[in-house]
């Protein structure tokens, strides 16, 4: 009985969150439906599951976070996805954003520099039978050139200075990229890039965000994620 009560409590919180997202300007019905279908609680460590449907970022270990639902929904909506799109995600993290995207696109490629996080995310994808996701442990700043060009690119870590040119070049003409840019964790803006031609990129600034930094190379993680990690570095 306690388990059933907990489930109903989570469902009620999810409904409140969806209503909150709508009030905050997330009006795309497909995005809201994907947010409703994907259970955020399975991507959140057990210590924080009671906060799964709060509109806040939560730590997932290794100094990384699962992003605030409003940011996830806003970035997803900005991509204007359809079921023909091939999408690249930089920063798999918990796998939550990837799971949302997988419900809206034809194929998703996602890169994570922390192997322990990637392994956990892939386990979740398998459990949920999300078969249109291909994941890789790699350097997200280099993108995934063998699969380029991509109709859409989403970056879930903040680029220092500007978005790497190698990533920009992997965006298809007519394609859209959404990424945070900023020189510090307190001075970041989400930007939307639209590639108009081989040489022309339109750029629109959206709103302030706080993400972990976009870093080069594969992380040298020497141990698995500690299930009792604390909330240090919990921002995004």
| Domains of the chain with CATH codes | 2-209 (3.40.50.150)
For position 187, what pLDDT does the model report? 86
3: part of which helix (H) or strand (E)? Answer: helix 2-23
For position 9, what pLDDT does the model report? 85
**Residues of the chain with confidence (pLDDT) below 50:** 1-3, 228-236
Query: Which two three-digit tokens encode residue 64?
Result: 């990384």
For position 225, what pLDDT does the model report? 64
Token look-up 């690249």 returns: 88
For position 228, what pLDDT does the model report? 46
Please enumerate in sequence order all residues whose Cβ is within 8 A of that of 64, keeping only pairs 6 or more positions apart, or say none. Answer: 93, 94, 114, 117, 212, 233
Of the CA atoms within 13 Å of residue 43, those in its CB half-sphere come to 30
- Express each pLDDT in 94-149 by its tens digit: 999 999 999 999 999 999 999 999 999 999 999 999 999 999 999 999 999 999 99
For position 234, what pLDDT does the model report? 36
- Distance, in Å, from the CA atom of 144 to the CA atom of 107, rounded to the nearest integer, reads 13
In SS3 terms, the chain reads as CHHHHHHHHHHHHHHHHHHHHHHCCCCCHHHHHHHHHCCHHHHCCHHHHHHCCCCCCEEEECCEEECCHHHHHHHHHHHCCCCCCEEEEECCCCCHHHHHHHCCCCEEEEEECCHHHHHHHHHHHHHCCCCCEEEEECCHHHCCHHHCCEEEEEECCEECCCCCHHHHCCEEEEEEEEEEEEEECCEEEEEEEEECCCCCEEEEEEEEECCCECCCCCCCCCCCCCCCCCCCCCCC
Query: Which two three-digit tokens encode residue 223?
Result: 């141990």
Identify the burial level of 186 via C-beta atoms within 10 angstroms of its C-beta, where 0-12 means exposed, 13-18 middle and 19 or more buried.
exposed
Q: Tell me the backbone φ, ψ of residue 208, rounded to 5 degrees.
A: -70, 140
Enzyme catalytic residues: 67
């Amino acid at each position: 009985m306690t388990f059933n009560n907990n489930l109903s409590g989570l469902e009620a919180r999810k409904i409140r969150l969806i209503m909150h997202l709508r009030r905050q300007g997330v009006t795309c019905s497909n995005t809201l439906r994907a947010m409703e279908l994907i259970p955020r609680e399975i991507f959140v460590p057990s210590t924080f599951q009671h906060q799964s449907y709060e509109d806040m970022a939560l730590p997932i270990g290794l100094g990384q976070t699962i992003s605030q639902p409003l940011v996830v929904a806003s970035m997803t909506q900005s991509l204007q996805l359809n079921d023909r799109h091939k999408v690249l995600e930089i920063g798999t993290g918990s796998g939550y954003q990837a799971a949302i995207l997988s419900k809206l696109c034809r194929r998703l490629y996602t890169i994570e520099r922390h192997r322990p996080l990637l392994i956990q995310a892939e386990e979740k994808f398998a459990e949920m039978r999300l078969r249109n996701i291909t994941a890789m442990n790699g350097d997200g700043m280099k993108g995934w050139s063998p699969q380029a060009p991509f109709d859409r690119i989403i970056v879930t870590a903040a680029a220092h200075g500007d978005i790497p040119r190698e990533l920009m070049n992997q965006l298809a003409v007519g394609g859209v990229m959404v990424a945070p840019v900023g020189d510090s964790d307190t001075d970041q803006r989400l930007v939307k890039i639209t590639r108009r031609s081989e040489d022309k990129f339109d750029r629109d600034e959206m709103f302030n965000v706080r993400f972990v930094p976009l870093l080069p190379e594969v992380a040298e993680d020497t141990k698995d994620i500690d299930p009792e990690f604390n909330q240090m570095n919990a921002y995004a």
